[in-house]
Every structure is written in structure tokens, then in C-alpha cells.
């Protein structure tokens, strides 16, 4: 698929508030990098190799797009129905796996280490999205999406409530951080890591909550509602250096498909139209100013006038 338009500025990049103009590049268009996935999720940038990895959950594989060649290949198959991906502070791949109901780390030699698969002796549900804090702790959401049926994993009865957990970077101790959410999903820290944002993706409407990070990152304050998504469907998201939230969006009305951009105060300022629903995003490229968007069947990108954290 070619860029959404052959003229600049790209009409797919919609300004909802004048503040979004500072984040746009007038001569940058939405680019489709790949088509052929069944459900794209969890993009992560590897600057040292100049490539993006992302999950194709129902096809049970992790794909790799190379910046230099533009080629796409299979990085891992089977992937255990991998969903969310990120990198730890040593650059290693951290992955949420639906089928095995665990969070893993891929070591430099390619071996896989299990970081979390149980809590208080009971199996996790289906780890979904994951972020790593600067202290090395791993935070992940654990809804039941992967055990609801046989499309993104295998149907199982949950033994734990959907929660958000923290894995200590030194001891490996697993702590429950958020309980009581209906479908905890995407999560990200503010640039200074003083706030954790979490999507509640099975409430009606969907919502994004903010939590103050307390006690050196070992506890959280009370949730406060940041964004009421209305008809929108936030899923995964990332934060730029200014604290803006770039959220996978869509499903429902076609004009909602793509990425919705919010200020740190939760005000919608921009939208990037895509021809399909976007599940998750990451920043990459040499200067971390290229937004990569995992959307349903494809992978898209857009250069922006900001940088990812």
C-alpha cells in the first residue's frame, strides 16, 4: 500500500488541536511497511540492529522488519502466541506469551528465561503488555484475553483476577500492583516515571487511568481517570519526551481507526488515520522520531517531530 496521499501535508494526519502542529512534519507521510499478518501487536525497536519486531498473535509468530532492506521475515515461530514486547535495560527482548501464560526474556545467546508464570502458586492468565522501568523492574498487565478462546491461545479457566504486576529487577519477586480493573491492557510510564498510565479495555467506555508512582517505584497511588475514550478503543500506547500519549485506536467507526494523540492532561490533540485498527505502537529510528504502528494486518510508520522516551 502506498502512502495515504501523494501530496504533503498528508491528510491522514489530522490536527484536532493547534498544539499538535508542533509534533507534525509537513513532508512526512504514513507509510505501510507490511501487510499479511492476522493480528499485529507489540512492536519494539532494536536500534543496534535497525529493525522492528512485532507479534502476529493468531499466526503464532514474531515478525521482523529491517530498516535497511525493508524486508520482513520471521524472527520466531512458534512464539507461544506472543503479544506485548519491550526491551530491558540491557537491551534484551522481554515478551508476553499468551499460550504459555508467562513473561519471558530472550538472552543474548537466544535462550529464553521465564520471568513470571505464576502468582501465589496459581498460573497467570495471559500476560498482555509490558514495560521496563529504569530500575530494571518489569511491569505487565494480565487480562484473560489469551485464555478466552482458541484464537490467541487456548481456552482455560482463569485462576487469578486480571491484574497488573511488577517483577523486581534484582530479586525477581512478583508483586500485585493493580487489582480490580476490567481488562487491564496497555501501560506506559511518564518520561520521569512519576506516573504509570494503564488502559482499562473491557469497561464501557474504555478508559485510561493515571497512577502516581510512590515509594521508589514499589507502590502506586489511587487511580485517577485521565481519558474517557467514548467510542474509541485504546489498546497499547507509548509516551514521547514531552509526555504526550500516542495510543493505538479504532474498531467501530472507520474514522476512529489509527492512532489518537493526547497531552499529559488527557486532551486529544491529533489523530493519525490508518485503514485498519491500530493495536500498539513504538518509537524507533536513529533518533527515535519514527512512530511504528502495529495495526490489524499490517505495520505502518510515520516520522514525527518528537522522540519516544
Going from the C-alpha of 132 to that of each of 89, 103, 140, 253, 271, the distances in angstroms are 7, 12, 9, 33, 27
pLDDT recorded at residue 1? 43
Is 257 a known active-site residue? no
- Over residues 106-121, the mean pLDDT reads 97
**What share of the chain has pLDDT > 70, as a percent?**
98
> For the chain, what percentages of helix, strand and coil (3-state, to nearest 5) are there?
5, 45, 50
Burial class (CB in 10 A: 0-12, 13-18, 19+), 294: buried
pLDDT recorded at residue 208? 98
How far is Cα 70 from Cα 89, in angstroms, rounded to an integer? 27
DSSP state of 202: S
Contact between residue 13 and residue 302 where contact means Cβ atoms under 8 Å apart: yes
Contact between residue 75 and residue 62 where contact means Cβ atoms under 8 Å apart: yes
Flag whether pLDDT at 25 surpasses 50: yes
pTM beyond 0.85 = yes
41 in a labelled binding site = yes
Across all residues in the chain, what is the average pLDDT?
96
Burial class (CB in 10 A: 0-12, 13-18, 19+), 180: exposed
Cβ–Cβ contacts within 10 Å for residue 307, how many?
14
The domains located in the chain, with CATH, are 13-303 (2.120.10.30)
How far is Cα 202 from Cα 297, in angstroms, rounded to an integer? 22
What are the b/e assignments for 7-27, b being 16+ CB within 10 Å? Answer: eeebebbbeeeeebeebbbee
pLDDT recorded at residue 251? 79
| Residues whose CB falls within 8 Å of the CB of residue 272, separated by 6 or more in sequence, listed in order | 12, 13, 14, 30, 258, 259, 261, 291, 293, 302
The active-site residue out of 10, 88, 129, 235 is: 235
Contact between residue 79 and residue 103 where contact means Cβ atoms under 8 Å apart: no
How far is Cα 84 from Cα 96, in angstroms, rounded to an integer? 5
| Residues whose CB falls within 8 Å of the CB of residue 97, separated by 6 or more in sequence, listed in order | 79, 80, 81, 82, 83, 103, 104, 127
Residue keyed to cell 519494539 = 44
How far is Cα 28 from Cα 116, in angstroms, rounded to an integer? 40
Q: State whether residue 218 is helix, strand or coil.
A: coil
Per residue in 140-166, pLDDT (tens digit) is 999 999 999 999 999 999 999 999 999
235 in a labelled binding site = yes
How far is Cα 207 from Cα 70, in angstroms, rounded to an integer? 36
Q: How confident is the model at residue 273 (pLDDT cuts 50, 70, 90)?
A: very high
How far is Cα 242 from Cα 126, in angstroms, rounded to an integer? 32
Flag whether pLDDT at 267 surpasses 70: yes
Q: Is the dihedral of CA 57, 72, 86, 277 positive or negative?
A: negative
pLDDT recorded at residue 44? 98
Amino acid at each position: 500500500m502506498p502512502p495515504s496521499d501523494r501530496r504533503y501535508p498528508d491528510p491522514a494526519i489530522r490536527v484536532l488541536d493547534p498544539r499538535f502542529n508542533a509534533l507534525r512534519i509537513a513532508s512526512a507521510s504514513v507509510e505501510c511497511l507490511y501487510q499479511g499478518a492476522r493480528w499485529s501487536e507489540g512492536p519494539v525497536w532494536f536500534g543496534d540492529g535497525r529493525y522492528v519486531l512485532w507479534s502476529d498473535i493468531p499466526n503464532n509468530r514474531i515478525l521482523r522488519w529491517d530498516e535497511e532492506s525493508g524486508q520482513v521475515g520471521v524472527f520466531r515461530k512458534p512464539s507461544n502466541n506472543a503479544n506485548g514486547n519491550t526491551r530491558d535495560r540491557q537491551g534484551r527482548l522481554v515478551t508476553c506469551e499468551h499460550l504459555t501464560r508467562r513473561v519471558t526474556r530472550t538472552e543474548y545467546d537466544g535462550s529464553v528465561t521465564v520471568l513470571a508464570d505464576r502468582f501465589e502458586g496459581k498460573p497467570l492468565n495471559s500476560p498482555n503488555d509490558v514495560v521496563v522501568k529504569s530500575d530494571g523492574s518489569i511491569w505487565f498487565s494480565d487480562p484473560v484475553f489469551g485464555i478466552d478462546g482458541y484464537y490467541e491461545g487456548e481456552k482455560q479457566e482463569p485462576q487469578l483476577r486480571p491484574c497488573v504486576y511488577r517483577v523486581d529487577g534484582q530479586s525477581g519477586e512478583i508483586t500485585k500492583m493493580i487489582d480490580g480493573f476490567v481488562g487491564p491492557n496497555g501501560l506506559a510510564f511518564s518520561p520521569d516515571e512519576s506516573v504509570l498510565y494503564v488502559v482499562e479495555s473491557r469497561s464501557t467506555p474504555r478508559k485510561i487511568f493515571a497512577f502516581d508512582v510512590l515509594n521508589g517505584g514499589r507502590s502506586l497511588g489511587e487511580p485517577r481517570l485521565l481519558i474517557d475514550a467514548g467510542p474509541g478503543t485504546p489498546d497499547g500506547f507509548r509516551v514521547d519526551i514531552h509526555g504526550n500519549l500516542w495510543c493505538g485506536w479504532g474498531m467501530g467507526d472507520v474514522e476512529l481507526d489509527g492512532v489518537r494523540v493526547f497531552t499529559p492532561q488527557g486532551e486529544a490533540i491529533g489523530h493519525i488515520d490508518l485503514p485498519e485498527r491500530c493495536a500498539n505502537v513504538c518509537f524507533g529510528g536513529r533518533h527515535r522520531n519514527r512512530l511504528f504502528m502495529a495495526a490489524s494486518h499490517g505495520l505502518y510508520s510515520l516520522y514525527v517531530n518528537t522522540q519516544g522516551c
